[in-house]
Amino acid sequence: MAETTNAFEMAQRQFDHVAELLKLDPQVREILRWPLREFHFRIPVRMDDGTIKVFQGFRVQHNDARGPSKGGIRFHPAETIDTVRALATWMTWKCAVVDIPLGGGKGGVVVDPATLSTSEKERLARGWVQQMWKNIGPRQDVPAPDVGTTPQMMGWMMDEYSKLVGEYTPGVITGKPVGGGGSLGRTEATGFGVIYTVREAMKHLKMDPTQCLAAIQGFGNVAQYAAIGFTELLGGKVVCVSYWDREDRTPYTVSKADGIDPRFLMSITDQYGTIDKNKAREAGYAIEPADAWLSKEVDVLIPAALEGQINAESVHKISPRVKIIAEGANGPTTPEADEVIRQRGIFLIPDFLCNAGGVTVSYFESVQNDMNFYWPKEEVLSKLDQKMTAAFEAVLELAEKEKVYMRDAAYMVAINRVVKAMELRGWI
């Protein structure tokens, strides 16, 4: 079979495989293989030069049996409906695996936000809400930031929704700025969540984190806090990160054999995760080709950029030293590469478990919005750690009991919970 790089085909193949293991009823499979609802819309935006530009927007609600749909909005030039469908499907499994009472959704706009001015971004963010407001809401579907979108954009979107419905409604969207209805700890949540699961995997594999090296792909929100977490929470070393260089239109790996300083690199990185390579070079970092991160001799690989990055070809570059792959990104591994990883016995922490920290704190954010009472950061991060650790343990326990791969075990836990909710609601 040809290599699958279409994210939605990947999501469906992963689901089909586990549906088979679970001997799931064909009618139930038919419900879960496809999103329940999809919205395709055009967003006309007045540009600063007075012209009107029309952007393609999407929102997909995959399944809301367990609660309102939940999932980010991406602003990306290569966004497609299939990517949004895949990400919405993974959100259903993600919310179920960490056992938060939410379903799966995702949205997107085909745009490179770096080409827009601040006021154009604001008009596009508000335009997205003007198209979707009747079908989102704290009890319907709650968007959040993702690749290419920021807390500020969530603030504008919440404001637009509140104006349209006529009342302050912070719970319509999460990932808002702190002070504007956001939760402390949301910025760190996904990256730290990745590291909590890596810590638990290391305990299971009896690895000493202080003796471990990691290589990370990406240097955006997830990768930055995964790098800080790996060095500051676990005491390990990160030898490289990678990023997409917008100037040269190519990715690079930025490395330092004795360990990068994530906070220094963050100080020379823009809001889109692009590192200033000249400043990095001046500070003694090597600038290497795009996929150098993947072949580093490290104990832990953390893909935290985009989907489909570890594929049938690149998987063979992974060093024999690698013991753990922690999928910070959504769908970074194609099914073909996944099979190689499974056969090599590398311990995989699957995406929708590994990166569930973001949606978990998003959920905490909406709980705080409902109460209009906000928790200190320590409380948020300690509740996050408890949720991530419990989810990891439940998946590991099933993987050991059923002697299945971690990805399959995570799917089994999640699918069982969604099916149970559909049964309890009388859908099936």
Which residues belong to the active site? 106
Kindly tell me which of 32 and 223 has the beta carbon lying closer to ligand NAD: 223
71 counts as binding ligand NAD under rule CB under 6 A: no
Least separation in angstroms between CB 370 and ligand NAD: 21
Q: Cα–Cα distances in Å, from 378 out to 43, 183, 234, 385?
A: 40, 11, 17, 10
Residue 86 or 213 with smaller CB distance to ligand NAD: 86
Q: Is 113 in the site for ligand NAD (CB under 6 A)?
A: no
CA distance 160 to 259: 44
Asked if 381 interacts with ligand NAD (CB under 6 A), we say: no
- Cα–Cα dist 103/105, whole Å: 7
Give me the sign of the Cα torsion angle 262, 267, 273, 274.
negative
105 binds ligand NAD (CB under 6 A): no
Select the residue interacting with ligand NAD from 4, 162, 231, 274 (CB under 6 A): 274
Contacts of 107 (CB under 8 A, 6+ apart): 57, 58, 59, 60, 71, 72, 73, 74, 84, 128, 132, 143
**Considering the complex, what minimum distance in angstroms separates the CB of residue 271 from ligand NAD?**
8
Is 314 known as a binding-site position? no
Nearer to ligand NAD, 8 or 244 (CB): 244
Could you tell me where the DSSP H helices lie in 138-261? Answer: 151-165, 186-205, 221-228
Candidates 141, 146, 299, 338; binder of ligand NAD (CB under 6 A) is 146
Which residue number places its CB atom closest to ligand NAD? 220
Q: Tell the smallest beta-carbon distance from residue 88 to ligand NAD (Å).
A: 12
- The residue among 290 and 340 lying less far from ligand NAD, judged by its C-beta, is 290
Q: Is 355 in the site for ligand NAD (CB under 6 A)?
A: yes
Within 13 Å and on the Cβ side, how many CA atoms surround 390?
Answer: 12
Among 14, 197, 242, 360, binds ligand NAD (CB under 6 A): 242
Report yes or no: 193 and 203 within 8 Å, Cβ to Cβ. no
**70 annotated as a binding-site residue:** yes
Q: Is 244 in the site for ligand NAD (CB under 6 A)?
A: yes
CA triple 44-45-51, angle to 5 deg: 105
Residue 147 within binding range of ligand NAD, rule CB under 6 A? yes
Distance CA 422, CA 251 (A): 43
DSSP-derived letter for residue 349 is E
Q: Cα-flanking dihedrals φ and ψ of residue 76, to 5°?
A: -150, 140
Answer yes or no: are the C-beta atoms of 190 and 363 closer than 8 Å. no
Residue 125, amino acid: A
CA–CA separation, 42 and 373 (whole Å): 37
Site for ligand NAD contains 116 (CB under 6 A):
no
Q: In what order do the strands lie in the sheet with 347-349?
A: 286-288, 250-255, 237-245, 213-217, 300-303, 324-326, 347-349
Per CB under 6 A, does 107 bind ligand NAD? no
Q: Does 322 bind ligand NAD (CB under 6 A)?
A: no
For position 347 contacting ligand NAD by CB under 6 A, the verdict is: no
The correct pick among 128, 243, 285, 364 for binding ligand NAD (CB under 6 A) is 243
- Residue 248, both tokens: 């040269």
> In the complex, what is the shortest distance from the CB of residue 328 to ligand NAD, in angstroms, rounded to a whole number?
6
Please identify, using beta-carbon distances, which residue of 146 and 336 lies nearer to ligand NAD. Answer: 146
Size of the site for ligand NAD (CB under 6 A): 26
> Nearest 5 degrees, angle CA 382-CA 385-CA 388?
150
Kindly state whether residue 68 participates in binding ligand NAD, applying the rule CB under 6 A. Answer: no
Buried b (16+ CB within 10 A) or exposed e, 124-156: bbbbbbebbbeebbbeebbbbbbbbbbbbbbbb
**What is the smallest separation between the CB atom of 241 and ligand NAD, expressed in angstroms?**
8
SS3 of residue 225 by DSSP: helix
Encoded one letter per residue, x for contact with ligand NAD by CB under 6 A and - for no contact, window 174-213 reads ----------------x-----------------------
Site for ligand NAD in 294-313 (CB under 6 A): 304-306
Question: How many CA atoms does the CB half-sphere of 236 hold within 13 Å?
Answer: 25
Q: Tell whether 383 is in a known binding site.
A: no
| Listed ranges 6-14, 95-103, 160-168, 322-330: which one lies at the site for ligand NAD (CB under 6 A) | 322-330
**Contact residues for ligand NAD, defined by CB under 6 A:** 146-148, 190, 217-223, 242-244, 251, 273-274, 290, 304-306, 328-330, 355, 358
Which residues fall in the annotated binding site for NAD(+)? 190, 221
Which residues fall in the annotated binding site for substrate? 70, 94, 362
